[in-house]
Amino acid sequence: MRRSILVVSLAVSLVVILVAGARAHVAPSADVNNRYIKIALLRDSVRVAVTVFFGERPGFAERRRMDADGDGAIDAAEARAFGERVLRDVGAAIAFDLDGRRIDAWTLEDVGMGVATAAAGAFSVDLVVRAPLGDGDEHALRLEDRLQLPAPGEEQIRIEESPGVRLVDAYREPDSRGLQTTFDFTGNPGPSRTIRARFHVDGAVRPPPVRPIWPWAVAAGAVALAAVAVALRRSSPRARQ
C-alpha cells in the first residue's frame, strides 16, 4: 500500500513539475509550500498572477482534508472549494494598487491536482487579478504581500515588461528607487513585503486636449453684432432715402 502511494505521489509530482516548467519555470518542493507572483505590464492593463505550490508532504495532508466525503478521490467541487479558500486568503493578504486604485477582483484560474486522488502529494493553485490602465503613459503600482502559508518555502516576485512597455523603476520598500525585476525571498513575510514600480507605455492613447471656447464665443459675438449693425443701418430712414 505504501509503495503504491509513493508511486502515485511521484507520478503526480512529475506531472506538476512538467506543467510548471512549461508554464512558469516553477516547481513544488518536498516539505514546504512555495509561492510565485508574476506582474505582467501590458499596453492596456496590468495582470498579476499568484501560484501557490503545495509541496509533497504538506500537499498530501491538504488532499486528505480536501477529500470531504472520504472516498479517496478529489472531485471538482472539493478542489474548487479548496481553491476558493486560498482565493479568500490571497484577497485578504495581498494588496495590489494601480495608480492609487485598489484592485481586488481576484479570480480562481485553476487548481492543478495532477491526478484527482487523495493519496498523492504536490499540487498548485493559480489566482489572477487584472486591472485596465487609465489615461496617460506613466503608471505606478504597489504590491504588498502579507500572506502567511503553513510550512512556508521560497517566494519569488517577478515583473515582466511587454512590447511597448518600459519599466522605469522597481524596488522593494524601504528603498525609494531602483530597477529590479526579480525579488527572491524565503519564508513568510514578517509582517509584509512591499514592491513598488513605475512604468511607461509608448504611444499611450491620451484624451484630446481641452481647448478654451471663449475665442470662438467672442468671434461669434462680433459677427452677430456686425450683422445687427448692418440690419439697423439698412432699416434706418436715411438708408431708405
Give per-residue pLDDT as tens, 63-94: 999 999 999 999 999 999 999 999 999 999 99
Confidence check: pLDDT of 194 > 80: yes
Quote the mean pLDDT of the chain: 84
For the chain, which residues make up each domain, given as ranges? Answer: 2-201, 215-241
DSSP structure string for 103-146: E---EEEEEE-SS-BTT---EEEEEEEEEE--SSSEEEEEEEE-
Cell of 214: 471663449
What tens digit of pLDDT does each residue of 15-66 get?
443 344 334 446 678 999 999 999 999 999 999 999 999 999 999 999 999 9
Whole-model pTM: value is 0.75
Q: Output DSSP code: residue 73.
A: B
Number of residues that this document lists for the chain: 241
Confidence check: pLDDT of 235 > 90: no
Higher pLDDT, 219 or 124: 124
Position 14 scores a pLDDT of 39
Confidence check: pLDDT of 172 > 90: yes
Going by C-alpha positions, the residue among 63, 37, 73, 25 that lies closest to residue 172 is: 37
Confidence check: pLDDT of 160 > 60: yes
Cell of 201: 507605455
Going by C-alpha positions, the residue among 8, 194, 221 that lies closest to residue 113 is: 8
